[in-house]
Amino acid sequence: MKIATYNVNGVNGRLPVLLRWLAETQPDVVCLQELKAPDEKFPEQAILDAGYHAIWHGQKSWNGVAILSRTEIKELRRGLPGAPDDSHSRYIEAFVNNIVIGCLYLPNGNPAPGPKFDYKLAWFERLKLHAAGLLANDIPVVLTGDYNVMPTELDVYKPERWVEDALFRPETRQAFKTLVEQGWTDAIRKLYPTEKIYTFYDYFRNAYGRDAGLRIDHFLLSPQLNNRLHAAGVDRNVRGWEKTSDHCPVWIELTP
DNA sequence: ATGGCTCCCCTTGGGAGA
């Protein structure tokens, strides 16, 4: 089973790219982030025509997450527990093919320090609490999406330029580290422990052409899935398409 | 160090992204 994550940066503006990528790579399950569309403007029919069921949690202009699947989807929750007043659509969770799939769009947090960074760290804490609960259920779980964190210096083209940034500050890296240490496996790093792998390239300064990227889209696997992970990768070429997102699709393959 | 680009919207400029 192939599971992918893709921050599309506008699901309607990106629809031709999304449909082409779905047709070419045929993932079984897809987590989307940054829909930038309210619920009623999600392109449901085009997704159905492409052969996917879908659930989504939209929001006007910003954020928004969705899960697509070739098989039936049972929605488990939208939004993380612990913040009933949080209006951002950044988390949706479902049961698909006997796996719990959590699709997340962690806040960017810039400028840091400041209220946006505080919100990022608070969101991270809520994610960690929920993630610990998922692990306690002792069932297969995939937590994937745009974490807006470069976990280590290997994940940044020029680490010294990013030390003050919300995506790379010590507090952010520490939050990711303690999350993983609950018992999760960073799928890409498990298969490629020392390779330079990026999932995002800025639109500016020909970042893609210079390979000046960041690894910020991640797959965390619960222990029940460790022996089923047999491949993972980044569809880097998609970043070179016309009218493309600034993120690349990232995927894993699990044995049945 | 700065600005570069691209998305969105009660749009024609501003906010946000990372």
pLDDT in tens, chain A (256 residues): 999 999 999 999 999 999 999 999 999 999 999 999 999 999 999 999 999 999 999 999 999 999 999 999 999 999 999 998 899 999 999 999 999 999 999 999 999 999 999 999 999 999 999 999 999 999 999 999 999 999 999 999 999 999 999 999 999 999 999 999 999 999 999 999 999 999 999 999 899 999 999 999 999 999 999 999 999 999 999 999 999 999 999 999 999 9
d(CA A214, CA A212): 7
The residue assigned the tokens 């300064």 is: A205
Q: Which pLDDT value is given to residue A124?
A: 97
d(CA A114, CA A239): 31
Q: Which pLDDT value is given to residue A164?
A: 93
Widest distance between CA atoms in chain A: 46
Computed on alpha carbons and rounded to an integer, the radius of gyration of chain A in Å comes to 17
Please name the nucleotide lying closest to A167, CA to C1'.
B18
Domain map (residue ranges) of chain A: 2-254
d(CA A100, CA A85): 25
Residues with CB under 7 A from strand B: A 7, 9-10, 12-14, 34, 36-38, 41, 60-62, 107-108, 110-111, 116, 146, 148, 167, 200, 202-205, 214, 216, 243, 246-247
d(CA A140, CA A79): 20
Q: Which pLDDT value is given to residue A173?
A: 97
Q: Which of A173, A187, A209 is nearest to A141 (CA)?
A: A187
**pTM as predicted:** 0.97
Copy the structure tokens of residue A180. 């993983």
d(CA A213, CA A216): 9
CATH class assigned to A2-254: alpha beta
d(CA A226, CA A190): 9
Q: To which H or E segment does residue A187 belong?
A: helix A187-191
Q: Which pLDDT value is given to residue A205?
A: 87
